[in-house]
Amino acid sequence: MSVWKSPSAKVTIPALLERKPHGPRIAAITAYDYPSARLADEAGLDLVLVGDSLAMTMLGHDSTLAVTMDEMLVFTRAVRRGLKRALLVADMPFGSYQAGHRGAARNALRFMKEAGAEAVKLEGAHPALVRRLVDAEIPVMGHLGLTPQAVHRMGGYKVQGRTDAAVETLRRQASQLAEAGCFSLVLEGIPREVAAILSAELPIPTIGIGAGPACDGQILVWHDVLGLGQHPPARFVRTYFEGAAHISAALLHYLHDVESGTFPSDQESYHLPRPRPAPVAEEGLAVSTA
Ligand code: KIV
């Protein structure tokens, strides 16, 4: 039997946990601004992540490493204004949690107090830090597998967890994060068989991206879902709209209309008030125009 999912009820962390055993699966997406957040919320997505992927998708960097706390806060506040129902998770950027628990807690609190995030996400196996944040009433989403902030250690964006030893490491790290109090775990770029094992073993929902169908939910990046990426999408992406092609065609159309003088039309222009009709004189009466 599946847990009833109200189309309008606020998505909470306990409600997501309840969905682990029977579904429905959790549908998550990244968003970085007010209009996208509003559309994701209205479509009924459960969870919106202000991912540090915005370093690449929104700011044009070639990795996620450069984005700062202050930049993440600006985007998170914009997304907050667009959400009514979906759970808002903010991604801790590179450098915001690696240099000590105290600084990490301060930064995580900033996301909640200054931007209205309901949880934070952090990459890698940091169970002691997760425990510290959870003790401070900061809900945490974990993230294992292909963790983009570790691009240099991994030697590129490569599928992880392909050897027996790597699978055992992932199992150990995932269970430590769950025990430390993570309310869910993103599994990125790992074989579907490994994600299936982790999803079966863990008491918390797994949210996959490039991790196959056995996860308790899926997340994709906004630009990938809507065909707004610059590069051909990765194999795990399903693109639901050719956004870049549609936007380019619309912009070309606009350019043509301006250059040819067909925009704006008379209906798209304002007019002076219509001149008042001249008063009509009745027979035998003088009309005063004073
Ligand atoms: O930053 C991001 O967009 C992410 C998702 C891919 C999970 O971490």
Residue pLDDT, tens place only, 274-287: 877 777 765 655 54
Q: What pLDDT does residue 274 have?
A: 83
State whether the beta carbon of 144 lies less than 6 angstroms from ligand 1: no
Three-state secondary-structure class, residue 257: helix
Residue-level pLDDT at 278? 75
To test the pocket of ligand 1, the residue of 121, 187, 206 to mutate (highest count of ligand atoms within 8 Å of its CB) is 121
Rounded average pLDDT over 17-26: 96
Q: Lowest-pLDDT range, 14-28, 105-119, 249-263, 270-284?
A: 270-284
Q: What is the mean predicted confidence (pLDDT) over 231-255?
A: 97
SS3 track for 122-184: CCCCCHHHHHHHHHCCCCEEEEEECCHHHHHHHCCCCCCCCCHHHHHHHHHHHHHHHHHCCCE
Structure tokens at 173: 């790290």
Query: Separation of 131 CA from ligand 1 center, angstroms?
Result: 22
187 pocket-lining for ligand 1 (C-beta < 6 Å): no
Residue 210, ligand 1, Cβ within 6 A: no
Distance, in Å, from the CA atom of 281 to the CA atom of 275, rounded to the nearest integer, reads: 18
Average pLDDT, the chain: 94
Q: Where are the domains of the chain?
A: 13-238, 242-269
Give which of 110, 74, 116, 72 is closest to 91, Cα–Cα. 72
pLDDT at 285: 54
Q: In this predicted structure, what is the pLDDT of residue 284?
A: 53
Please tell me the predicted confidence (pLDDT) of residue 277. 73
Q: Is 221 in the pocket of ligand 1 (CB under 6 A)?
A: yes
Q: How far is the CA of 50 from the centre of ligand 1 (A)?
A: 8
What distance in angstroms lies between residue 51's CA and the mean position of ligand 1's atoms? 5
What pLDDT is recorded for position 195? 98
Which one of 42, 188, 193, 268 is the catalytic residue? 188
* CB atoms closer than 10 angstroms to residue 100: 10
Is there a catalytic annotation at residue 201? no
178, pLDDT greater than 50: yes
Amino acid at 149: Q
User: Residue 29 Cα, ligand 1 centroid: separation in angstroms?
Assistant: 9
Whether the CB of 209 sits within 6 Å of ligand 1: yes
What value does the mean pLDDT take over residues 157-179? Answer: 98
Please give the distance, rounded to the nearest whole angstrom, from the Cα atom of residue 147 to the centre of ligand 1. 9
Residue located nearest, by CA, to atom 1 of ligand 1:
51
- The 10s digit of each residue's pLDDT in 201-240 is 999 999 999 999 999 999 999 999 999 998 899 999 999 9
Determine the straight-line distance between the first and last CA of the chain, rounded to whole angstroms. 83
| Mean pLDDT for the stretch of residues 129-140 | 98
30 Cβ inside 6 Å of ligand 1: yes
Kindly report which listed range (136-140, 141-145, 147-151, 231-235) carries the lowest average pLDDT score: 231-235
CATH fold of 13-238 reads TIM Barrel (3.20.20)
pLDDT at 283: 60
Q: Say whether pLDDT at 2 is over 80.
A: no
| pLDDT tens-digit map of 48-95 | 999 999 999 999 999 999 999 999 999 999 999 999 999 999 999 999
